[in-house]
Amino acid sequence: MTNETSLHESKEAYLLHSHQGSIVPKQSFLEKYAGPLTLLGGVCIHLVLGTFYLWGAIAIYVTSYLRDFDDSITISLLLSISPLTVIGLNMGLFFGVPLAEKVGPRKVLAAGICMISLVVFLASFAKSFIMLAALYGFAFGFFNGVLYMIPVVCGWKFYPNNKGLVSGITIGAFGFGAFIFNFVAAAIVNPNDLSPTIIVGKEKYFTREVADRVPHLFVMLSICYLALGLFGVLLVRTPKVKQPDSRALPDETQALIVSDKEPVVSVKEGVFSKPFLLLFIMASCGATLGLFLASSFKVYGSNKINDDHFLTVIGSFGSIANGCTRAVWALSFDKFGFKKVYFVLLSIQLILAPTLDLVAGSKTLFLIWYSLIMGCEGGHFAMFPSVTAKVFGLKNGPKIYGYMFWFSAAGTWIGLLASNLAINHTGWNAMFLMCFGLTLVSFICNIFFKEKYTKKD
């Protein structure tokens, strides 16, 4: 009996396994729904990784705590934790996908989640800026970066023709992480909704009643991260079928085939190309506004609104917008392409940036403006992995994005320098006007960007 006849007679009970026509038994539940389960696992993992954005909500608590041991520590200094986290994240990106290819994605994901939990737990013992910066800054960011692209790449292998949607769903959870843990942090550290009352220069800090709860916060966060992250790891799968003859495949395995039309660009060619340069400039300039506000919205907001609980709500709404809109931007990317959708995103930012300081005194308007800004921020992190894979190919696209992701470090450092100037010298509105100018630079670069790589680039 030929292979073709065997497959025809048992098409509901067997799946094609190789070019030679060997067959395997009917799929189990985990195998049958491996694609959706992988997406769900990626969501859980990125909820943990997305607590990157939590720093904006807890920075003022942690600063108030560390000042008990060193009163020279200021919120301006602690805002540098976020850029250190981004540097660590970018460095970790170079190791994640290659390491997963060698030893398997689940092993890397499990080890990374355990290390993130350990680092956050050790942060509870930090009594100096240097120790906190090394642990919750660089180390947390590094292991975050190692894991960041692995769930996305696993999802792409199941749904190669829907890279934007997979990126939007998986990385969308990155934005939701802070939404959940903003409330957890506030409930643990400031359950009585006290406002910062210690004034030092232009900065405000909390009393010890609030600050002394910070170590307990880190311990509880580490436990939550470990439980949620390992649950996600258990769900992640990788496809078993690799590039078989599509003419003999049943329908349910067609999605596993990577199109032979995928561009194949080496990492070196991609990084030194014109499309990469334009994408890097656009992302660095366009993302600065959101990255800056994500790490300092409470510091800025406390000067406008004297209500810590409401500022926590604002941060959580921003996280919702950051997470939800990623799927919207990603779907729009799949349908309309990068350039058109990115023009829309930048146009929204060009309206929001110069008007934020005018409306921030109103609780309602500040909530709306911040949510919209974070929604635009989500668009950067949803579309740029996908457009990188689209331009440079699925094979090396994730590796090239490891270099591309340095845009977040550039944007964060620009935001840090500007925030120090804003706090101590120029005022906040000058920072937002600078972000308006940077967004305009991204807008202009997008005019010249092409969504297709050619050798002459």
Q: 276 CB contacts (<8 Å, ≥6 apart)?
A: 270, 392, 400, 403, 404
Over 90: is that where the pLDDT of 454 sits? no
Q: From 446, 442, 443, 265, select the one nearest 338 (Cα to Cα).
A: 446
Q: What is the pLDDT of residue 256?
A: 34
Tokens of 171: 């990385």
Q: What is the pLDDT of residue 342?
A: 95
* Per-residue pLDDT band at 7 (split at 50, 70, 90): very low
Q: What is the pLDDT of residue 372?
A: 96
Q: What is the pLDDT of residue 407?
A: 67
Q: What is the pLDDT of residue 238?
A: 81
pTM surpassing 0.85? no
Residue-wise pLDDT for 182-227, tens only, equals 888 989 999 888 888 888 777 788 889 999 999 999 999 999 999 9
Which amino acid type is present at position 321?
A: A
Residue-wise pLDDT for 48-99, tens only, equals 998 988 888 898 899 999 998 988 888 878 878 888 888 898 889 888 888 9
Q: What is the pLDDT of residue 87?
A: 86
Compute how many other C-beta atoms are within 10 angstroms of the C-beta atom of residue 376: 26
- Complete DSSP assignment for 280-326: HHHHHHHTHHHHHHHHHHHHHHTTT---HHHHHHHHHHHHHHHHHHH
Most confidently modeled of 144-148, 191-195, 406-410?
144-148
What does the pLDDT average to over 299-313? Answer: 84
Q: What is the pLDDT of residue 67?
A: 92
Are β-strands 15-16 and 23-24 bridged in parallel, bridged antiparallel, or unpaired?
A: antiparallel
Residue-wise pLDDT for 241-281, tens only, equals 554 433 333 333 333 334 445 567 787 888 888 888 899 89
Residue-wise pLDDT for 101-115, tens only, equals 899 999 999 999 999
Out of 5-19, 22-36, 179-193, 238-252, least confident range: 5-19
Candidates 1.20.1250.20, 3.40.710.10, 3.40.50.150, 3.20.20.70; correct CATH number of 29-236+264-448? 1.20.1250.20
Phi, psi dihedral angles at 238 (to 5 degrees): -130, 145
Out of 129-138, 223-232, 289-298, 407-416, least confident range: 407-416
Q: State how far the Cα of 324 lies from the Cα of 318, in Å rounded to an integer.
A: 10
Q: State how far the Cα of 98 lies from the Cα of 104, in Å rounded to an integer.
A: 10
| Comparison of pLDDT for 263 and 142, the residue scoring more | 142
Which amino acid type is present at position 209?
A: E
What does the pLDDT average to over 309-338? Answer: 86
Q: By the 8 A CB rule, do 110 and 99 touch?
A: no
Q: Across-strand partners of 267?
A: none
What does the pLDDT average to over 377-396? Answer: 83
Which amino acid type is present at position 249?
A: L
Q: By the 8 A CB rule, do 261 and 157 touch?
A: no
| Comparison of pLDDT for 163 and 389, the residue scoring more | 389
What is the residue whose two structure tokens read 């030679």?
Answer: 20
Are β-strands 203-205 and 23-24 bridged in parallel, bridged antiparallel, or unpaired?
A: unpaired
Out of 8-17, 207-216, 396-405, least confident range: 8-17
What does the pLDDT average to over 148-163? Answer: 86
Domain range summary for the chain, segments of one domain joined by +: 29-236+264-448
Over 50: is that where the pLDDT of 38 sits? yes
Q: What is the pLDDT of residue 217?
A: 95
Tokens of 16: 């094609």
What does the pLDDT average to over 351-356? Answer: 95
Q: What is the pLDDT of residue 371?
A: 94
Q: How much of the chain, in percent, has pLDDT values that exceed 70?
A: 82
* Per-residue pLDDT band at 422 (split at 50, 70, 90): low
Residue-wise pLDDT for 157-179, tens only, equals 888 877 777 877 887 788 778 88
Q: By the 8 A CB rule, do 382 and 296 touch?
A: no
Q: What is the pLDDT of residue 197?
A: 80
Q: 241 CB contacts (<8 Å, ≥6 apart)?
A: 15, 16, 17, 249, 253, 256
Q: What is the pLDDT of residue 426?
A: 67
Over 70: is that where the pLDDT of 22 sits? no
Q: What is the pLDDT of residue 364?
A: 93
Compute how many other C-beta atoms are within 10 angstroms of the C-beta atom of residue 425: 8
Over 50: is that where the pLDDT of 13 sits? no
* Per-residue pLDDT band at 367 (split at 50, 70, 90): very high
Tokens of 211: 């600050």
